[in-house]
């Protein structure tokens, strides 16, 4: 159907077909007032909402938007060491939304769900002036879940993956760059960006629009009791490190020279008008894991470093706040990053 959405019951049936599943743990799925699930004794539950003109633009790729909507929730489960099981999806849609757009969004959610063993078991619909996509994800919590509150002085501080790529990707999108359906990078005037810069720009944009949750790493950290505290890097390394420090009543020192700033930050600093170190520290949506490791567990953790691209970046201490060591100087690290309610 083109030109707009069908009636609500038809949309529900469309989504029920898109997310149809046959699993022994899903007793009743989409179609009744609530899903009936056969769950484990301990559940981890998280929710996140993506809002048009705040988290994405109307012309965003709906398939990748669907993937991101689920994956940012799965990243929260990863930070707890939990195994994802189910999700519910709530949508606010303008009445003139094209059915093809909705099908593409559902396709993206379905792709991510299939990749990570998630059954989409229900949700809600609402007419809305702007699009919003809200997901609640549920998973099996480990016996000892990873928390923000377990860090101790002397613990080593680690992060997975690189820092700043998603923020640089957002800068590219805001400047008018896009990925085409053929996966080419288009500049603000719609022209194809030539190699080799095209591959670099495409990778940064993908980091922003299609993040990958670190579920396997989170499970490994929890199963081996390797991490004393953990959080996913959603609002910037500095801000999320402060959250660990406040929850654990500790301080931290970060070595600037050890930060795994994405290589593209230096290459594109002039083009994008960004500072590589500031972007690595304060740019959000990297969705790696930031975690602390007791001394006695460091050797076991280092055995996983190559497999999960782990980098030791500092140390937990008993001081107040967080400090950055750069060029031999120790300076306070700002508690800054993404905040929904800051200007």
In the predicted model, is pLDDT for residue 2 greater than 70? no
In the predicted model, is pLDDT for residue 119 greater than 90? yes
**What separation in angstroms does the CA of 215 have from each of 3, 100, 129, 193?**
39, 31, 35, 34
**pTM for the structure as a whole:** 0.93
Q: How far apart are CA 313 and CA 47, in angstroms?
A: 29
Q: Across the chain, what does the average pLDDT equal?
A: 94
Of 220, 206, 229, residue with least CA distance to 305: 220
Q: Give 272's pLDDT tier (boundaries 50, 70, 90).
A: confident
Fold observed for domain 8-140: 60s Ribosomal Protein L30; Chain: A; (3.30.1330)
Task: For residue 65, give the 3-state DSSP assignment.
Answer: helix
Quote the pLDDT of residue 12: 86
Of 163, 151, 140, residue with least CA distance to 42: 140
Quote the pLDDT of residue 11: 87
Fold observed for domain 156-332: Phosphoribosyl-aminoimidazole Synthetase; Chain A, domain 2 (3.90.650)
Half-sphere exposure of 55 (CA within 13 A, CB side): 23
Question: pLDDT, tens digit, for every residue of 217-264?
Answer: 999 999 999 999 999 999 999 999 999 999 999 999 999 999 999 999
Task: Report domain extents, the chain.
Answer: 8-140, 156-332
Q: What are the structure tokens assigned to 183, written together?
A: 């996966």
Question: pLDDT, tens digit, for every residue of 41-73?
Answer: 899 999 999 999 999 999 999 999 999 999 999
């Amino acid at each position: 159907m083109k030109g707009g959405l069908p009636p609500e019951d038809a949309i529900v049936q469309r989504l029920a077909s898109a997310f149809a599943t046959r699993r022994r743990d899903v007793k009743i799925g989409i179609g009744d007032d609530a899903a009936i699930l056969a769950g484990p004794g301990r559940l981890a539950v998280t929710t996140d909402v993506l809002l048009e003109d705040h988290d994405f633009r109307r012309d965003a790729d709906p398939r990748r938007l669907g993937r991101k909507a689920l994956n940012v929730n799965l990243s929260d489960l990863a930070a707890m060491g939990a195994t994802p099981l189910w999700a519910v999806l709530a949508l606010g849609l303008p009445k003139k939304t094209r059915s093809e757009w909705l099908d593409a969004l559902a396709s993206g959610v379905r792709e991510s769900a299939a990749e990570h063993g998630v059954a989409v078991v229900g949700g809600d619909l609402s007419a809305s002036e702007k699009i919003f996509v809200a997901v609640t994800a549920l998973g099996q919590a480990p016996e000892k879940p990873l928390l923000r509150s377990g860090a101790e002085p002397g613990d080593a501080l680690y992060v997975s993956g690189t820092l700043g790529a998603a923020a640089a990707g957002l800068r590219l999108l805001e400047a008018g760059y896009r990925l085409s359906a053929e996966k080419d990078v288009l500049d603000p005037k719609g022209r194809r960006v030539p190699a080799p810069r095209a591959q670099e720009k495409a990778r940064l944009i993908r980091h922003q629009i299609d993040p990958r949750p670190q579920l396997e790493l989170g499970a490994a950290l929890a199963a081996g009791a390797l991490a004393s505290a953990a959080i996913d890097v959603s609002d910037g390394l500095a801000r999320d490190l402060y959250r660990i420090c406040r929850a654990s009543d500790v301080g931290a020192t970060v070595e600037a020279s050890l930060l795994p700033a994405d290589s593209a930050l230096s290459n594109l600093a002039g083009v994008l008008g960004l500072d590589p170190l500031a972007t690595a520290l304060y740019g959000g949506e990297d969705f790696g894991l930031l975690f602390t490791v007791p001394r006695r567990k460091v050797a076991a953790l280092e055995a996983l470093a190559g497999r999960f691209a782990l980098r030791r970046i500092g140390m937990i201490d008993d001081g107040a706040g967080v400090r950055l060591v750069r060029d031999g100087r120790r300076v306070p690290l700002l508690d800054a990053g993404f905040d929904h309610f800051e200007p």
